[in-house]
């Protein structure tokens, strides 16, 4: 009985903590809009239709958590969407599975998520997590760019701390440097928030909320990491005066993305942190690396 009561208290405390942060983001957003504080102008997501869209997922679940709502909206508008799953996610330690079992599990989850997102063109590169190099990926990304000729690319970035997210971002920069196309690149907020200094495009998921949640739920083996991204989407929505949840993006030209990610990831400063499993310190993820975010916004 005591343990049950303690678990109940912890759950209630977590709800209260998240509500506290939600209120803080609401207040910060209201002040920013009222005073027109310095920062990028945040545009609402839109598409003219007929677009070719490429989404790069360093791991299975990054597509659903990072841009799943936007992909659903692209599909509803008639855009052609291609999903590229880079690694096989075998190093996840959940469920007590062996690496090979986990890789098979995550491929099955990716297939289910892609189906929920309505994406029929998806590629499983299956690079073994933690066991691949930039040279393994960059030529394959270049081939995808040349074949698919995307107008919009959803991608990870250096606003992160995960080595594999960084490597995918750098590999994309290498590929973009060799391709003459001029797509718009939309940096996704994965577990690290972009913050007000970088967010310049927001996609409300209100119209596709049920499908979006189902796509995330398809990655059932990663429930402990996907839950924190849901809180981040709620904070984004309330800070921007939107209902429910919203995805934040940092949109830029391909040339700017290439320039920001051209150097080796080993030279990038490790200054960011993610939201943790519980909501207790969520706000710190937006404060850590704040100066670097402002520097990047001007580069």
Where along the chain do its domains lie? 28-298
In the predicted structure, residue 4 carries a pLDDT above the cut 70: yes
Across 11-15, 246-250, 271-275, least confident range: 11-15
Across the range 103-128, mean pLDDT stands at 98
* Helix or strand run (H / E) with residue 262: none
Which stretches does DSSP call E strand in 105-245?
121-127, 152-155, 184-188, 201-204
Q: What is the pLDDT of residues 34-63, one digit of tens each?
A: 887 555 689 999 999 999 999 999 999 999
pLDDT for the residue 292: 97
Lateral strand order in the sheet of 152-155: 43-44, 201-204, 246-253, 184-188, 152-155, 52-57, 80-87, 121-127
| pTM for this model (two decimals) | 0.96
pLDDT for the residue 38: 53
- In Å, what is the CA distance from 122 to each residue of 80, 95, 170? 11, 26, 21
CATH of domain 28-298: 3.40.50.10320
Q: What is the pLDDT of residues 184-243, one digit of tens each?
A: 999 999 989 999 999 999 999 999 999 999 999 999 999 988 999 999 999 999 999 999
Q: What is the pLDDT of residues 65-100, one digit of tens each?
A: 999 999 999 999 999 999 999 999 999 988 999 999
């Amino acid at each position: 009985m005591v343990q049950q009561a303690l678990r109940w208290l912890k759950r209630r405390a977590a709800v209260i903590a998240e509500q506290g942060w939600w209120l803080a983001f609401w207040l910060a957003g209201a002040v920013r809009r009222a005073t027109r504080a310095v920062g990028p102008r945040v545009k609402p997501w839109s598409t003219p239709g007929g677009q070719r869209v490429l989404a790069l997922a360093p791991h299975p679940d990054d597509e659903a958590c990072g841009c799943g709502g936007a992909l659903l909206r692209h599909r509803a508008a008639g855009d052609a969407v291609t999903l590229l799953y880079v690694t096989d996610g075998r190093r996840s330690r959940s469920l007590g599975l062996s690496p090979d079992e986990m890789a098979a599990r995550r491929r099955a989850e990716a297939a289910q998520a892609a189906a929920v997102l309505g994406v029929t063109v998806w590629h499983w590169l299956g690079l073994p997590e933690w066991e691949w190099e930039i040279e393994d990926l960059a030529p394959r990304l270049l081939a995808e760019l040349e074949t698919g000729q995307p107008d919009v690319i959803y991608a990870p970035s250096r606003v992160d701390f995960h080595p594999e997210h960084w490597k995918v971002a750098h590999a994309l920069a290498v590929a973009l440097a060799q391709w003459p196309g001029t797509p718009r690149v939309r940096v996704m907020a994965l577990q690290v928030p972009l913050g007000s200094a970088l967010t310049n495009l927001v996609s409300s998921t209100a119209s596709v909320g049920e499908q979006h949640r189902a796509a995330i739920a398809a990655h059932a083996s990663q429930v402990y990491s996907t839950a924190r991204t849901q809180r981040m989407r709620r904070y984004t929505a309330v800070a921007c005066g939107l209902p429910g949840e919203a995805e934040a993006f940092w949109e830029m030209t391909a040339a700017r993305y290439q320039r920001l990610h051209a150097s080796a990831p080993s030279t990038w400063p490790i200054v960011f942190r993610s939201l943790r499993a519980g909501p207790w310190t969520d706000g710190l993820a937006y404060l850590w690396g704040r100066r670097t975010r402002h520097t990047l916004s001007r580069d």
